Amino acid sequence: MAIVLLVNVIFKKEKARLPLPPGPKGLPIVGNIRDVPKSHEWLAYERWGRVFDSDIIHLNLCGTPVVVVNSTSAAYELFERKSSLYSDRPRMTMLNDLVGCDWHFVFMGYGDRWRERRRIFHQHFHPSAALQHRPKALKGARVLLYRLLETPDDFMTHLRHMAGALIIGVAYGLEVQPKDDPYVATAERALHAMAMAGNAGSFLVDYIPILKYVPTWLPGAGFKRKAMEWRKSTTAMVEVPYKAVKKAISDGIAAPSMILSLLSNIDIEEDENAPRLEKLYSGVAAAAYTGGSDTTVSALGSFFLAMLLYPEAQAKAHEELDRMLGNHRLPDFSDAPSLPYTTAIVQEVLRWRPVTPLAVPHRLTQEDEYEGYRLPAGSIVVGNSWAMLHDEKQFPNPSAFIPERFMTADGELNPTMKDAELPAFGFGRRICPGRNLAYASLWISIASVLAVFTIVKKVNEKGEVIEPRDEYTSGLVTYPLPFDCIFKPRSETAEALIRTALDDVE
């Protein structure tokens, strides 16, 4: 026993002498706080990885150690193989305390509260359960086609409506209005707030939590005024649709949904545990919306942009769809095995412009070692999905949109590239639990749009082509900045298919 203790002490002393991962040299006290850009931080982290020739880098943000993981191999080693050490979350003071998102299990610390919520969510969104929601995803894609035909300039609005209708239908059983739906609008405001508040490194209060107590009138306290406004939006997203479902249940008109299923197991009037369960269920349902809708909107926006910038990829997809489907019907989920190039486009969209370039931060619960570097306990560990998905070793010419990278020479999906785009959904035990439904919605939407439209660049009144800008917002979730395009029906038959698309879906 004494020998074991001695070896343990020696091991700990040796580990303590290991160097920290490389990174930019910081200033006294504040460390690297001035080195981290206020937007698009993932690009700086990727650049530092190249400068220091390391797949992990270390930053000191006002005394808080931050480790950025830039490679899939490091991500696997830390987040997968050592998931018990890396599954916790930092407190995220701005998002959880000030903006009030402590109900969201994605941002919760690893423990019983997280497990309870994750288990409830998984019951309704695991792969087999996600199959049951495919009819709603198919209907959403068909509605999207019609709206793109009728009012193509509002394509981003149509994407938000489609994504919102799917998740609101699954989680709450509520129907959304064709235009200016209040539930979609409420959720969009909350999603914006969460994307801004949850972006790693954006707010100093995340590294100096005591700053949350400064008065709102104090110079430099603008973050608190922002948080007060954002909190209104996140609170409304939890409460407004939940109250609508409860009223529908009371009126006897509630449609099947996750909330209806959960509430059917409790007596709201008699069960003394009902208030806690209602708070629990309303939070899980709101988390479902935030996890599904933003992925779909961002990724489809990137898909439209990619088709403008890389028309040769669009032409190849058209050829595949015409060869497999003819021109007499629209694709459905059963067509996926015979449409490998279309699937490769979906994978490349997720790789080319990842929805969350920086994953939600993890927290290291005890000191660890990686490749001869010491990782201090309490470190905030951030997976740089952008760097992983733009790694030239795995993805040659990473800035280009090349679906063929996911295929073999004989035109089939490359099994060695299966799930290569997964860093877009997070890591380890914290990987996005709603990714199956999000992917299904993305696949059927892309296949349907390609079947009937050619997406082309707009031309101004002088006959000059309007080149789209390939620029993105910065935040936890990123979106393409506004650009113009035209959705041109590929034929009269295609237009007829669009106008009758809803006849064969539930």
Binding residues: 432
The answer to whether the beta carbons of residues 126 and 261 sit under 8 Å apart is no
What is the spatial distance between Cα 370 and Cα 86, in angstroms, rounded to a whole number?
13
Count of beta carbons in the 10 Å neighbourhood of residue 42: 27
Joined tokens for residue 339 = 């449409």
What is the spatial distance between Cα 217 and Cα 224, in angstroms, rounded to a whole number?
9
From the list 237, 230, 140, the residue with the least C-alpha distance to 192 is 230
Residue 349 CA: distances (Å) to CA of 253, 295, 305: 40, 11, 10
The answer to whether the beta carbons of residues 363 and 90 sit under 8 Å apart is yes
The answer to whether the beta carbons of residues 477 and 170 sit under 8 Å apart is no
Burial pattern 370-402, b for ≥16 Cβ within 10 A else e, equals beebbbeeebbbbbbbbbbbbbeebbeebeebb
- DSSP track, 6-29: HHHHHHHHHHHTSPPPP----BTT
Count of beta carbons in the 10 Å neighbourhood of residue 186: 20
From the list 340, 358, 338, the residue with the least C-alpha distance to 348 is 340
What is the spatial distance between Cα 376 and Cα 366, in angstroms, rounded to a whole number?
7
Name residue 455's beta-bridge partners.
Answer: 487
What is the spatial distance between Cα 506 and Cα 496, in angstroms, rounded to a whole number?
19
**Which residues are documented as binding site for heme?**
432
The answer to whether the beta carbons of residues 88 and 249 sit under 8 Å apart is no
**Which residue shows structure tokens 């080693």?**
77
Burial class (CB within 10 angstroms; exposed 0-12, middle 13-18, buried 19+) of 43: middle
